[in-house]
Structure 1
């Protein structure tokens, strides 16, 4: 419980603008009874003590420090890593190089050797070789790449949880900065679910199988997070009473229309390798 409370306090300190509203919005995402389908519905929950106007203002004008939050979210598995700079792979006329004419180039990069000290089931791990197209990498750059490789199996399930349960794609925001802010809030919410995993009770449905202790999925942890939240730190301040603004006068035109962007277009490509070769030969 202390680890979860410490994370919540440090996460609140990463929020620089509209901190209280953003923190309570994250709690509402965690304590919702079902999948998040609307931001307005989150403002009706007890965990969100502010109105929907404060929520929209926080999403559109709030800000957090990404670097500070990255340091808070970072975790380092036990592994032995070696890296060699300016190593190039042997390219072949396949994939993205199908349409290349002439001799294939030499692309220098960084070769990484990863050896994990322990695997589940006491298996003897074999070294894994990775390659990155970036040269001159620092130790932090190397750590970022092999940690992302170890987490590759979790990506599909994590993104599905983000979209279907936590409502990652629910807000239709206009500003890319607002989309980035909402993404960071979802990541922080998911991290709290992982930290609360050994603390939560299994509130399973009648048709679900019992889960092993301390092995609950994030979706099951979220069902009981409301009971854990009252035992953790809640640094957000109490909302102050205020009056709604005057708004735009009736009958007046909107002088600040939202920018509109044209959708991108895709180029039709050949579907088979034989057709690619034939078109390449025609082009000479």
Structure 2
């Protein structure tokens, strides 16, 4: 698919109808209950406070028992749904480049002692610079970013991190599979600009760049301000014997005395941050040691060179003296246009935070008290499918604003405002579900009968991968 074909607008209602039909086909177990749950999530007025209240929506024609039965015992073809998301229209920059953001959002479950596969999730405390570690399920999201200031993103994939996972290795596999699906769907072809992957400071961006070096992607990530990188070694004098050094002069982020004259300097006047001064240094690499992630690396440790970018703005909201932001780009020989493109793309990464806020505060992603991680995964994919339908309905929705709200400009409706008017589109969209059958509630546990099958309490934190062979042997013996 050429860049010209990417710019051709498609029929928005046809795209929405096709996705709803494909979503129903992806639900392979208790599909009617799960599909109507997704519709209730889209058409309910206001934020989702409790999961069971969604069964009272007119779009959910089944009882609350079917709602929980679908989440706990239903089935979803995740591979097919991922393929469907990759084939939808995606936002691009003016030059036709795809920009993907990768980040982790936590579903905190501190009181779920019987829920397995929980990890200690990093959360920010109330005080400045304070942090807490709370048990929960961390989910890794991959989303396509829009070029302008917006709260919209196109979520392409989600993966729950398990206690035995190497986060960076799992993220590399996740990004690789997302790129392969985009390539098969025709979203990227040979000759197109490389896909830009943007990550925050919680990722080892240099190792991620090493694991994805064979793909036509560029990595851009933030680094902590206490990092120390190295320049390439100077040319060895003629006639000197011995091994050539691998590292040159030090470059300490917090020590300006170690900063030589930057290769590129740009100054940009912004609307919200004042003057943005950007400096870039070429061909800087970290010092790798055989520990942690590189313990099992049998070959010689690589030298991963990139471009360091220092972004300094005049002011931020609530901060008149902000600290500089340090970025590392996996390519070298950057131009002034590349540097400006990169730091502006990094600022767009924070649009994913708006998506997380929409998931949690409006769509109620972390509201259900589900015990099993599989049920949590099904609910997460339903939330993503609902958000995708809102994005596809964006050109079709009306601005049903409150009397105290300002009118939104054309094409600038927020996800919450699109959801407010989705019920009007729901009646025209395809309804593949069948009519519910008449049934009565089961008798349940007799009064006075205690639960004889108490759930097992689970440990929290990093663990080794479970021995599936032993589990199968015990099951056969039983």
Judged with a 3 Å threshold, the aligned counterparts in structure 2 of structure 1 residues 237 and 163 are, in CA distance, closer, same or farther, namely same
Q: Of 328, 339, 351, which aligns to 1:154?
A: 351
Judged with a 3 Å threshold, the aligned counterparts in structure 2 of structure 1 residues 70 and 90 are, in CA distance, closer, same or farther, namely same
Give 1:47's aligned residue. Answer: 59
Deviation at 1:129, TM superposition (A): 11
Judged with a 3 Å threshold, the aligned counterparts in structure 2 of structure 1 residues 183 and 149 are, in CA distance, closer, same or farther, namely farther
Judged with a 3 Å threshold, the aligned counterparts in structure 2 of structure 1 residues 261 and 42 are, in CA distance, closer, same or farther, namely same
Judged with a 3 Å threshold, the aligned counterparts in structure 2 of structure 1 residues 185 and 221 are, in CA distance, closer, same or farther, namely same
Q: Give per-residue Cα distances to partners, 1:70-109, cap 9 Å, x unaligned.
A: 11112554331187449x972259xx99xxxxxxx93577
* Separation of aligned partners in 2, 1:237 and 1:45: 17
Q: Of 111, 118, 126, which aligns to 2:338?
A: 126
Deviation at 1:16, TM superposition (A): 0.6
Give 1:5's aligned residue. Answer: 17
Q: Does 1:220 align with 2:417?
A: yes
- Using CA pairs under 8 Å that are at least 6 residues apart, name the structure with larger relative contact order, 1 or 2: 1
Q: Does 1:28 align with 2:44?
A: no
Deviation at 1:110, TM superposition (A): 10
Which range moves more in the overlay, 193-202 or 256-265? 256-265
Contact 1:14 1:64 survives alignment (8 Å) = yes
Q: Give per-residue Cα distances to partners, 1:150-195, cap 9 Å, x unaligned.
A: 9733210000000000000100100000010000000000000000
Deviation at 1:63, TM superposition (A): 1.4
Judged with a 3 Å threshold, the aligned counterparts in structure 2 of structure 1 residues 73 and 150 are, in CA distance, closer, same or farther, namely farther
Contact 2:305 2:331 survives alignment (8 Å) = no
Judged with a 3 Å threshold, the aligned counterparts in structure 2 of structure 1 residues 151 and 181 are, in CA distance, closer, same or farther, namely farther
* Separation of aligned partners in 2, 1:182 and 1:3: 23
* Separation of aligned partners in 2, 1:59 and 1:165: 19
Q: Of 81, 90, 93, which aligns to 2:285?
A: 90
Greater share of strand: 2
Give 1:69's aligned residue. Answer: 81
Q: Does 1:241 align with 2:441?
A: no
- Give the secondary-structure state (helix, strand or coil) at the position aligned to 1:16: strand
TM-score by length of 1: 0.71
* Separation of aligned partners in 2, 1:32 and 1:166: 9
* Separation of aligned partners in 1, 2:399 and 2:413: 7
* Separation of aligned partners in 2, 1:50 and 1:81: 47
Give 2:375's aligned residue. Answer: 178
* Separation of aligned partners in 1, 2:331 and 2:79: 27
Structure 2 unaligned segments of length 5 or more: list them: 1-12, 98-192, 196-211, 216-282, 293-299, 307-329, 463-478
Greater share of helix: 1
Judged with a 3 Å threshold, the aligned counterparts in structure 2 of structure 1 residues 193 and 128 are, in CA distance, closer, same or farther, namely same
* Separation of aligned partners in 2, 1:92 and 1:21: 53
Q: Of 63, 69, 75, which aligns to 1:57?
A: 69
Judged with a 3 Å threshold, the aligned counterparts in structure 2 of structure 1 residues 38 and 109 are, in CA distance, closer, same or farther, namely farther
Judged with a 3 Å threshold, the aligned counterparts in structure 2 of structure 1 residues 149 and 191 are, in CA distance, closer, same or farther, namely farther
Q: Does 1:106 align with 2:301?
A: yes
* Separation of aligned partners in 2, 1:128 and 1:70: 32
TM-score by length of 2: 0.44
* Separation of aligned partners in 2, 1:46 and 1:21: 13
Judged with a 3 Å threshold, the aligned counterparts in structure 2 of structure 1 residues 257 and 13 are, in CA distance, closer, same or farther, namely same
Contact 2:401 2:417 survives alignment (8 Å) = yes
Q: Give per-residue Cα distances to partners, 1:1-29, cap 9 Å, x unaligned.
A: 22111110101111011100000001111
* Separation of aligned partners in 2, 1:12 and 1:262: 36
Number of aligned residue pairs: 231
Matches within 5 A, 1:194-213: 194-213=391-410
- Give the secondary-structure state (helix, strand or coil) at the position aligned to 1:250: coil
- Give the secondary-structure state (helix, strand or coil) at the position aligned to 2:350: helix
Deviation at 1:128, TM superposition (A): 9.2
Deviation at 1:125, TM superposition (A): 5.7
Matches within 5 A, 1:255-266: 255-263=452-460
Deviation at 1:246, TM superposition (A): 2.5
Deviation at 1:260, TM superposition (A): 2.2
